[in-house]
Structure 1
Amino acid sequence: MAGVLDSVNQRTQLVGQNRLELLLFRLDGKQLYGINVFKVKEVLQCPRLTIMPKASPVVRGVANIRGGTIPILDLSMATGRSGLDDLKNSFVIITEYNTKVQGFLVRSVERIVNMNWEEIHPPPKGTGREHYLTAVTRVDKQLVEIIDVEKILAEVAPMSEAISEGVIDVETQSKAVSKRVLIVDDSSVARKQVARCLQTVGVDVVALNDGREALDYLRKMVEEGRQPEQEFLMMISDIEMPEMDGYTLTAEVRGDPRMQKLHILLHTSLSGVFNQAMVKKVGADDFLAKFRPDDLAARVIERIKSTEEG
């Protein structure tokens, strides 16, 4: 237990420092790929897979790992290439996204590198594979591509975006029409999911791609004499983003007296014990795991009611 707590403490030291650790891996060639270590539970040699009838071709099978049945997705196939062969000599990266556990089949796993989010950039236009890229970086002068895992999961196992009956009432919906919410997320899929959910509630949405863009946007507002907390009901921000992560964005907003009253909800596919300590440390108002339409709608409705009462 002490080891786990030490690990938590080490990671919370990085909060507001805009840093991350990437696990580097390869698929079917020399190209290097990266995944945030926060998402990774373990890495193992590909176990024996049981084929699942009627599953997406991307799901190569399920594996029994530590008493649980976990779907194994072929990342090469998921990004439009041919599937990996020679499974015995391949590896599986067990990950947790949006509170769900799955394994990603890869050819080889390289090493972990510690980086600054400022070194992670949006994919260049015209890369050909940007459809499945959320960011790129360089390690030892070699290009590292970061795959938009949320897009892949949305395609392989779509989540319901419907808000349950009874969550939104007519009175709140009528009040929502005059409200705006700022969304910050580097995944196009996540931005659209959140926007559709909020539009169903009735609020207007401004969507930006990363923390740096959001901070520049807010700074421009305050320089023009406008108050973000007056114009926006709240800011809903992802945590993992190129250029500037959500923790650093939150810390920057809280550190500026002109915008520090803006209500901030961190909305992330990161799971685990680290989040609550980090959310508290940077001063966010709330934290919510992706993607739960009812919970997200309820948080927005709470804000509408509290501002009306205030």
Structure 2
Amino acid sequence: MAGVLDSVNQRTQLVGQNRLELLLFRLRGRQMYGINVFKVKEVLQCPRLSSLPNSRPMVRGVAHIRGETIPIIDLGMSIRLPGIPKEEMATSFVIITEYNRKTQGFLVAGVDRIVNMNWEDILPPPKGAGKDVYLTAVTHFEDKLIEIIDVEKILSEVSPFEEDVTEDVRNRSSERVPGHLPVLVVDDSAVARRQIERCLTAIGMEVVTKNDGRQALDYLKEVTADGSRAVDHLCLIISDVEMPEMDGYTLVTKCKNEPAIKDVFIMLHTSLSGVFNKAMVQKVGADDFMAKFSPDELAERVMEIVDREQ
């Protein structure tokens, strides 16, 4: 097990190359789950926890780690499975992660290994899974189903943050001339799509949403099939980086290699706030990037881009 933990700590500094490295872990049963290594800061055995008054039941307490006070979230309870029993917590593990500019730990029963996957092998959850499913993707490894949890959905429920654009920003947006082309938003998380769409509609923008890079590229090819250009249909593309079937890096690369699409402005919008790879952004040709999720910052940035690109 020590080798797995050492490997995580060394490899979390690696980013890009159009692949996904998953840290595999278990909750209370035999089902295996995965989390992107790039979001993992550290893995350790569950430390001593201090209680956090008035917190949700799945927040098992806070840990004091390397000068930080970090909330520890029971990942099983967060997805409506049995949590880790108190008597087993000392032998359980905590995966310290950074999402959307915040650090938190996820309490899990066991950590298995790191596997290197191609994005093409990461698939959306089954269509019949329903709206309340806590999965953002699935894959297979050694004939086992690996479920990838929608962490943004969990965090929005455990620790809700402000999703609305402030009145000041909305007032400034109303002074702009209306009639801009729509924004294409590409994100595999339904929660993230809703947050971004809510932000953009608040400043008067129309929004088209797609669930992954492949869907987005198919849409772009479809609207330009008549000989028009993407900039005739869209003012901007905002894309997540981590998505099943085709990730954001690959989407940008393919868009920039298509004559009819290459001129449209593409901003990568990612929860990989701690280790986001600026060099990779430049390599694939993205025009901008931003860490999730501040509604005012996103609204301000979109208004600047749209006004500049007119």
The two structures have a TM-score, normalised by structure 2, of 0.92
Q: CA RMSD in A?
A: 1.9
The match for 1:285 is: 287
Q: How does 1:139-158 map to 2 (within 5 A)?
A: 139-158=141-160
The match for 2:67 is: 67
Q: Any unmatched runs of 5+ in structure 1?
A: 1-5
Q: State the shift of 1:164 in Å.
A: 2.4
Residue 214 to residue 93, structure 1, CA distance change in 2 (3 Å): same
Q: State the shift of 1:10 in Å.
A: 5.7
The match for 1:180 is: 182
Q: State the shift of 1:81 in Å.
A: 1.3
Residue 34 to residue 176, structure 1, CA distance change in 2 (3 Å): farther
Q: Is the 8 A contact 1:39 1:96 kept in 2?
A: yes
Q: Is the 8 A contact 1:33 1:147 kept in 2?
A: yes
Q: Is the 8 A contact 1:173 1:201 kept in 2?
A: no
Q: Any unmatched runs of 5+ in structure 2?
A: 1-9
User: 2: distance between equivalents of 1:8 and 1:53?
Assistant: 32
Deviations, residues 222-253 of structure 1 (Å, cap 9, x unaligned): 22222111211100000000000000000000
Higher mean C-alpha deviation, range 25-34 or range 298-307: 298-307
Q: How does 1:207-286 map to 2 (within 5 A)?
A: 207-286=209-288
Residue 146 to residue 129, structure 1, CA distance change in 2 (3 Å): farther
The match for 2:15 is: 11
Q: Is the 8 A contact 2:32 2:146 kept in 1?
A: yes
The match for 1:37 is: 37
Q: Is the 8 A contact 2:96 2:105 kept in 1?
A: yes
Q: Is the 8 A contact 1:185 1:241 kept in 2?
A: yes
User: 1: distance between equivalents of 2:49 and 2:89?
Assistant: 9
The match for 1:22 is: 22
Residue 276 to residue 171, structure 1, CA distance change in 2 (3 Å): closer
Q: Is the 8 A contact 1:176 1:304 kept in 2?
A: no
Q: Is the 8 A contact 2:27 2:110 kept in 1?
A: yes
Q: How does 1:113-152 map to 2 (within 5 A)?
A: 113-127=115-129, 131-152=133-154
User: 2: distance between equivalents of 1:9 and 1:155?
Assistant: 29
User: 1: distance between equivalents of 2:176 and 2:207?
Assistant: 16
User: 2: distance between equivalents of 1:166 and 1:126?
Assistant: 41
The match for 1:54 is: 54
User: 2: distance between equivalents of 1:26 and 1:8?
Assistant: 20
Aligned counterpart for 1:110 among listed residues 87, 112, 116: 112
Q: Is the 8 A contact 2:25 2:112 kept in 1?
A: yes
Q: State the shift of 1:274 in Å.
A: 4.3
The match for 2:168 is: 166
Q: State the shift of 1:175 in Å.
A: 2.4
Higher mean C-alpha deviation, range 224-233 or range 47-56: 224-233
Deviations, residues 124-169 of structure 1 (Å, cap 9, x unaligned): 1334796100000000010000000000000001110122232244
User: 2: distance between equivalents of 1:88 and 1:117?
Assistant: 35
The match for 2:191 is: 189
The match for 1:79 is: 79
Q: Is the 8 A contact 2:38 2:275 kept in 1?
A: no
The residue type paired with residue 114 of structure 2 is I
User: 2: distance between equivalents of 1:212 and 1:39?
Assistant: 23
Q: Is the 8 A contact 1:172 1:305 kept in 2?
A: no
Q: Is the 8 A contact 1:39 1:97 kept in 2?
A: yes
Q: Is the 8 A contact 2:15 2:277 kept in 1?
A: no
Identity of aligned residues (%): 57
Residue 109 to residue 9, structure 1, CA distance change in 2 (3 Å): closer
Q: Is the 8 A contact 2:13 2:275 kept in 1?
A: no
The two structures have a TM-score, normalised by structure 1, of 0.92
Deviations, residues 186-239 of structure 1 (Å, cap 9, x unaligned): 000000000000000101000000001001111112222221112111000000
Secondary structure of the 1:83 match is coil
Q: State the shift of 1:171 in Å.
A: 6.3
Q: Is the 8 A contact 2:273 2:292 kept in 1?
A: no
Residue 128 to residue 165, structure 1, CA distance change in 2 (3 Å): closer
User: 2: distance between equivalents of 1:240 and 1:251?
Assistant: 15
Q: Is the 8 A contact 2:15 2:275 kept in 1?
A: no
Secondary structure of the 1:131 match is coil
Secondary structure of the 2:167 match is coil
User: 1: distance between equivalents of 2:276 and 2:100?
Assistant: 15
User: 1: distance between equivalents of 2:180 and 2:226?
Assistant: 21
